[in-house]
A and B are shown apart, each in its own frame.
Chain A
């Protein structure tokens, strides 16, 4: 029975996508919403049923069909439900459902709404395939599938070439990682003869190369340094897309992949260290960029990058549970932040510059409350928010792995609180720079309410022993990851609680409501940070432009010129020989004489 439900959870969104895309926009907007949201809603219900039913930690295996079977290699499409995919399933279906519900309001007036919901449901289906697959190659279907949906949705408003360029950039940068990951799969398949996850992990072929190649895929997908440049541009997509794909689900696929294959990584200390380092570097760089952004969605994009950096840090530190816990809470509060930001953007006439907003708290108290809840969770304000508990778990894990990692993560936590409350103080307090119009409809308000509550209380599923001995998530995941490490000294907890508060205080000192209007900082460091520390420029000058320029230079194909040259030589030769037949008897006689002499000379040669 559960096997059937598992298939249906994937089948509903897939079917909805097929219906919506084949309808080619002939369906009324309301029906489109019902089909799109309803299918994911049904999946969410089934997911809930499966989750409550499958209380035993034993995993459920659903083989579907054999995909490829050739000499020395075979792969099948099969689903597995284990604690990890159970958690991911719940995140994808529930957050996905709420975001689609929100999108019904957000995209209501878009003429292309059928295409939008078609791509969104296709994305949900692909993400579920990614999460459920028990074979790395069928996981790769979902992996690339979410990538192409991300491309289609970033460039959804395709009349603006900037959106199209952003979409293309996102796909190509992640494709670089995907190619690395494919090489990793080739290596594993050659070594083990299978890509099925369970046998691979039972006897992990301790291959540093494979771990690093797979890490390449994870880094690109999760927008970590040095392949992070696509994520800020990806904000060109509609806000529900940013919430679903570029905050809650797809970008965390890299974290999922590493957690899923953790024995493979744990066997290679160098890979673990690299994962932690990548996480640390990204979380600090992105937090720095978020501090100086002026576009509300870009603040959130850099914040996403930074928070996934935390997850990578946790993975690298071996704190698997912490990474997944943060993945869950982040999915909730970041989706909430994006949707609240979207509600703000709609009310202020599609403006995204925070310096043009200001004083919106009184005009839209509900949205403000939602944004505040999300921001508090993101900053990790102690006790009351979900983000606090997951971040606390990561800090503990980092402390155990290496105190330096812990110190870096703590610095990041300070920056996080500062940048998100900077955003709050500038957007919702102080003098008003624009007059909001309209109101936020129920379809948009309801998801904000649900996620707002979850962003506050959702963290209570797992708390430090010093507060309350609740360990629902850790215990659920422990068959996979083993028992979590013991907690560190209590001053760790105190530091972790006080630093975010200090960050909020700092933000208040710097950007507290004043009459004077703010201007964005304009010194060199701020400019560099705002453009993402110059990675884009670097890649552009080093790779993209030379490559394209050389291609342009060779547009007519040097090989073709060679063949043309041959043709020209033949023609010229023919013309020269043709000149011999001039029709003048004198010339012919001359040639005959020359030929005779040559023949005689040859004959006379000894």
Chain B
């Protein structure tokens, strides 16, 4: 299916075009329009891919492969299953708020900004598709570098430190993954005599339990940093806080999901036995993330930090679901990823808009914003309620299925996870109460709170709300799609060409 590499190339080319179109001397909105055209085209392309792949034609829905560096057994191989498809859709949908809402008001070098945003998206798309481990690593790096530049150039007051921290953490853990990849490839070469980076071939490697555990840990740590898993989450609050709005949305909405995706595809499915032995630790880490993230979230004064820690808490559910060892938990984890992407992405848009208007993220200096910004505030209220897991919205479906799957293997873990739901109500409502309700703050003049959300913002965020409601009341299509295809499921070549 030639469309798979096109899904990666299109945003990259569109980004280049946006950059080139912004090279003139006069400031212009042209790059912005080019970027919008790109993501619309991307949506159309993805729709075509979805329709041609069809529903239920087998676990693997699409396949593409050409040799790349044959001498080393490296191919440009991509395969798409339902999990990839769901996450590709999430990426494409979230590129709309990134581009339409936040990239519009970038003062300097909008072309370059959009180039970086779109290459990050291209890298993420590649990560969700690549089934050659070398290609996967390539895309893994591709999405990090532009994000690093985004934070470094367009970030807030403490951006340099945050960018370096982000880079060190992700790069360091990426190196660990590279070592694990090479180890796996070499072991496979030793035992079979063929040198290959192919995911499906490597899945058949015979490993001793100890080596399997060591290699799995290499992958696990890389993805755990990304997800993030406590205590490897420390890069996230700083990075989120300092990143420009589009960067925060990309990070929370999509980049973190590559961690969850990697855990499913390259930890649980590639090393099933080692992962099963690792389950108790993973469950403990997941529940620790849920509770620790929520606890720290409610202690924050900085709104973006609060949302960032709430992400740590929400994604703890993903870790629980992935390691629950049942398809139910896996499906729940995927729904949780999608719902978290939508709700937290929107919350970052809101926090970013507030920062643009009030020039602060400090909730001690906000308060009573509902009077000045009723539309923005009611949208924030909606997403805060979604984020606390109200039934009828997407987050609840994810959390419920994950907890149900967890209850089967360990009721105490599930009870602790459910306690996280109480804390999520505390921090979500605290945020709403401190920033939007109560008497108008004495800090920034409420009359200068700037304009309320207009048609553009309300349309994009309104659609996001509708998606969350649909996901919460009729999640079945996502649930059906979201079970990942294992490397042994059926030969992907047997799928459509």
Q: Which residues of A contact B (CB under 8 A)?
A: 24-25, 65-73, 77, 137, 140-141, 143-145, 148, 151, 155, 158-161, 164-165, 167-168, 171-172, 175-176, 178-180, 182-183, 186-187, 189-190, 547-548, 551-552, 554-555, 557, 559-560, 562-563
Q: A140-B391, A144-B391, A179-B422 are in contact. Are A168 and B433 (CB under 8 A)?
A: yes
Q: Is B404 in contact with A73, judged by CB distance below 8 angstroms?
A: yes
* Contact digits for B293-336, partner A, Cβ 8 Å, 1 yes 0 no: 00110111100000000000000000000000011100110000
Within 8 A of A (CB), among B104-150: none
Nearest-neighbor residue (CB-CB) of B292 within chain A: A559
* Contact digits for B355-383, partner A, Cβ 8 Å, 1 yes 0 no: 00000000000001011001100100000
Main DSSP-derived SS at the A contact region: helix
Which residues of chain B are within 8 angstroms of A73 by Cβ–Cβ distance?
328, 401, 404
Interface assignment of B40: CB less than 8 Å from any CB of chain A:
no
Partner of A71, one of B327, B430, B474: B327
Q: Is B474 in contact with A65, judged by CB distance below 8 angstroms?
A: yes
* 19 A–B contacts from the bound complex (CB under 8 Å): A25-B374, A68-B475, A70-B479, A73-B401, A77-B473, A137-B400, A145-B392, A148-B385, A148-B390, A160-B438, A161-B437, A176-B422, A178-B421, A182-B418, A189-B407, A190-B408, A551-B296, A562-B231, A563-B235
Which residues of chain B are within 8 angstroms of A190 by Cβ–Cβ distance?
404, 407-408
Nearest-neighbor residue (CB-CB) of B231 within chain A: A559
Q: Is B419 in contact with A186, judged by CB distance below 8 angstroms?
A: no
Bound-complex Cα distance A208 to B206 (A): 48
CB distance from B383 to the nearest CB of A (A): 13
Nearest-neighbor residue (CB-CB) of A189 within chain B: B404
Q: Is A548 in contact with B299, judged by CB distance below 8 angstroms?
A: yes
Nearest-neighbor residue (CB-CB) of B230 within chain A: A559
Q: Is B326 in contact with A551, judged by CB distance below 8 angstroms?
A: no
Which residues of chain A are within 8 angstroms of B296 by Cβ–Cβ distance?
551, 554-555, 557
* Contact digits for B267-287, partner A, Cβ 8 Å, 1 yes 0 no: 000000000000000000000
Which residues of chain B are within 8 angstroms of A158 by Cβ–Cβ distance?
370, 437-438
Interface assignment of B213: CB less than 8 Å from any CB of chain A:
no
Bound-complex Cα distance A187 to B406 (A): 11
Q: Is A68 in contact with B298, judged by CB distance below 8 angstroms?
A: no
Interface residues on B, range: 35 or more
Bound-complex Cα distance A171 to B429 (A): 9
Q: Is A186 in contact with B391, judged by CB distance below 8 angstroms?
A: no
Which residues of chain B are within 8 angstroms of A554 by Cβ–Cβ distance?
295-296, 299
Which residues of chain A are within 8 angstroms of B371 by Cβ–Cβ distance?
159
Within 8 A of A (CB), among B191-235: 230-231, 233-235
Q: A145-B390, A164-B437, A551-B295 are in contact. Are A557 and B234 (CB under 8 A)?
A: yes
Q: Is A175 in contact with B425, judged by CB distance below 8 angstroms?
A: yes
Q: A70-B328, A151-B429, A171-B425 are in contact. Are A161 and B439 (CB under 8 A)?
A: yes
Interface assignment of B14: CB less than 8 Å from any CB of chain A:
no
Bound-complex Cα distance A159 to B238 (A): 32
Partner of B328, one of A65, A71, A172, A562: A71
A-B pairs with the 4 shortest C-beta distances? A551-B299, A158-B437, A161-B438, A559-B231
Within 8 A of A (CB), among B396-452: 397, 400-401, 403-404, 407-408, 411, 414-415, 418-419, 421-422, 425-426, 429-430, 433, 437-440
Main DSSP-derived SS at the B contact region: helix
Q: Is B433 in contact with A70, judged by CB distance below 8 angstroms?
A: no
CB distance from B85 to the nearest CB of A (A): 18
Q: Is A172 in contact with B426, judged by CB distance below 8 angstroms?
A: yes
Q: A141-B391, A187-B411 are in contact. Are A179 and B421 (CB under 8 A)?
A: yes
Q: Is B414 in contact with A186, judged by CB distance below 8 angstroms?
A: yes
- Having A73-B401, A140-B391, A158-B438, one finds 4 other A-B pairs with CB under 8 Å, namely A67-B474, A158-B437, A182-B403, A552-B299
Within 8 A of A (CB), among B474-497: 474-476, 479
Residue of B235, B391, B418, B437 with most partner-chain A CB within 10 A: B391
Which residues of chain A are within 8 angstroms of B429 by Cβ–Cβ distance?
151, 167-168, 171-172
CB distance from A555 to the nearest CB of B (A): 5
Nearest-neighbor residue (CB-CB) of A561 within chain B: B234
Bound-complex Cα distance A183 to B404 (A): 9
Q: Is B438 in contact with A159, judged by CB distance below 8 angstroms?
A: yes
Interface assignment of B31: CB less than 8 Å from any CB of chain A:
no
Bound-complex Cα distance A69 to B440 (A): 47
Which residues of chain A are within 8 angstroms of B234 by Cβ–Cβ distance?
557, 559-560, 562-563
Interface assignment of B22: CB less than 8 Å from any CB of chain A:
no
Bound-complex Cα distance A171 to B430 (A): 11
Nearest-neighbor residue (CB-CB) of B430 within chain A: A168
Bound-complex Cα distance A71 to B324 (A): 13
* Contact digits for B234-256, partner A, Cβ 8 Å, 1 yes 0 no: 11011000000000000000000
Residue of B296, B397, B419 with most partner-chain A CB within 10 A: B296
Which residues of chain B are within 8 angstroms of A551 by Cβ–Cβ distance?
295-296, 298-299
Q: Is B374 in contact with A24, judged by CB distance below 8 angstroms?
A: yes
CB distance from A180 to the nearest CB of B (A): 8
Bound-complex Cα distance A328 to B371 (A): 40
Bound-complex Cα distance A562 to B234 (A): 9
Residue of B301, B408, B437 with most partner-chain A CB within 10 A: B437
Q: Is A72 in contact with B328, judged by CB distance below 8 angstroms?
A: yes
CB distance from B167 to the nearest CB of A (A): 13
